[in-house]
Every structure is written in C-alpha cells, then in structure tokens.
Amino acid sequence: MNEAQLLRIIQEACPSPPAPQGIGDDCATITNHAYDYVLKVDSVIEQVHFTLDTPGELIGRKAICRVMSDFAAMGGAMPLAFLVSLTLSSRHEEALISSIYRGISQTLALFGGKLVGGETSHYKEIQTEPPTLFPLNISISGLASINSDRLVTRQGGNSGDAIFVTGELGHLLESQHHLTFEPRLKQAQWLANHSYASAMMDLSDGLAMDLPRLCQQSDCHYQLNLANIPCVAGSNTNQALSLGEDYELLFTVPSNLVDMMTKEWHQQFPKLRLSQIGELCSLDNPSSPELKGGWDCFN
C-alpha cells in the first residue's frame, strides 16, 4: 500500500472530523473561543531522514523544524510546547543523544516554544547473525496557537486563484538543505495577517505530490506553468517537482490581490524568491499537466 491508501484505512477504522479539525491538513486544530490550537506529530528515523554521520545538533534541528514548517502552513501558528519521544538502542551513544537535544534546545530558542516533556524507550536487543541494527527514532509532538480568523488551511482555494511557491525547489540530499532549512513562519504569518493566502501548505513531499493534495481539499483542479517553477541551481524541473524536503510554502491568492501581495512581498522579504507558477481552475477543467512523482514513504 502507499501513503494515501494507509490514510484511507486509518480514516475508515478510526473516524475523524473533517479537516482542519481532523485528518487532511498539515496540522489538526482545536477551536477555543477566538483561538485555534494547532497540533502536529512528526518523526525522523535513522537511515530515512538522517544517518549516524549527521551531526546530532542538525538531527535535533530537523526534527523540530519539520513540525515548525507545518505550523507555518496553517497560517504561521505560534509554537507553544513540544514533546519528544526517543527510541534508541545500545549502539546509540550518549554523546549523540546529548547533541540531538542540544540541537532541539537551540532550535526552540530560535523559533519559539518550550520542550515540556516526552518519553524514552529502548529496543530489546535480539541476537541475530548478522546483528540486527535497530534505528534511532525521534518523534516530535507540537502544540501551537493562532487567532481563528488567521488560520489558513488547504480548503480555501477557489477557481481563478493564483498559485505561488516560496524559495527554490529540487534540493538534492547532498546539499544538506533538509537539515538546515528555515521554516517559513514569518512569511506565513505575514500572509495570514494580511488575508492574502486563501489556501496554504508546506512542500515536504514534492510539488507533484503536494499540489494535488491542496487541490483535492479545495475542490479545484490546477493549470501549471512548468517554465515558472523555480529550480535550485543544478537541478531540473523534474527534480523540482519530485524531490521532497524543500519545506517551502505552497499557497494560493485571489486574483484581485495578486498585484498588491507581490509588490508588498518584495518589500517585506527582498531576499526570498517568490514565484507564481499557475492558477486553480474548476473541476470542469482537467488539471494540466498531469503530475507524477513526489515522496511517498511507503514506496
């Protein structure tokens, strides 16, 4: 099965409210008067998201920043509290674990929020030949808050809205971008505060995977201009579409706000590239071009 099939199994076995309260968006939300509390859980796993050659501080940073990126996707929700669950084996040394938590602490000091608890577990060793090597697993649960009128989900897009992405896409693993990226909290907060973004998500699985997800939640199709997709130097359009872990913002803007938004964006964030790559269209029109690829953790 792939990731989409697994999500359907979970939804059928354990019914959830529709997004944004339940399954279907970057985070789940709980409404409390004028505020929404935003919740997210994410894991990084040895040999999938990092290796033991990766500096521990960068492992901790990535674990937290992945959650921060999802907070950004909801309109720049303000980080409040984090729980860290760590599962390790005897081959994972004390110095590594200490450096991971230093990285977590440094990242929270930079972007906000507090580490308030967690859990530690140890694999039961099994003697096999060759030896079984159990992976280090770090699971982060995060809580953030946002004014209810500032919350942005994947559901708000409409036919005619322009599609934008921040930054550049197609980072290769060798570039280390997946360890050092900056979650776009400030930019998302600015978009939400000015009511520019009608729908938004972060690009963690590749544009070819994530754009159709946003369109599905907004009941729209898309028309994409491949020539406008911003590629990282040394990458190509296919890589920009298919490689995950860019952690940029994908968002839509009503057509009557595009000129004002882009003008003010360049004043606010002159060093961060902004690209209009297409527009949403009605379900009467087929999406074009058909997108394939992207990161699926089950393939």
Within 8 A by CB and 6+ apart from 30, the residues are 21, 36, 37, 39
* Matching residue, tokens 């960068």: 58
Does residue 93 sit in helix, strand or coil? Answer: coil
Where is 39: in which H helix or E strand? strand 35-45
Predicted local distance difference test score (pLDDT) of residue 224: 98
* Matching residue, tokens 């058909």: 290
Mean pLDDT of 87-95: 90
Angle between helices 56-73 and 94-111 (to 10 degrees): 30
Strands of the sheet containing 221-224, edge to edge, are 199-203, 248-253, 162-166, 274-281, 221-224
Burial of 20 (0-12, 13-18, 19+ CB in 10 A): buried
Q: Please state the pTM of the whole predicted model.
A: 0.89
Q: Domains in the chain, start-ordered, CATH in brackets? A: 3-150 (3.30.1330.10), 162-281 (3.90.650.10)
Where is 143: in which H helix or E strand? strand 137-147
Adjacent-strand bridge partners of 200: 251
Mean pLDDT of 116-138: 85
Give the DSSP per-residue string, 58-92: HHHHHHHHHHHHHHHHTT-PEEEEEEEEEEE-TTS
Digit-coded pLDDT (tens) for 198-253 = 999 999 999 999 999 999 999 999 999 999 999 999 999 999 999 989 999 999 99
* pLDDT beyond 90 at 20: no
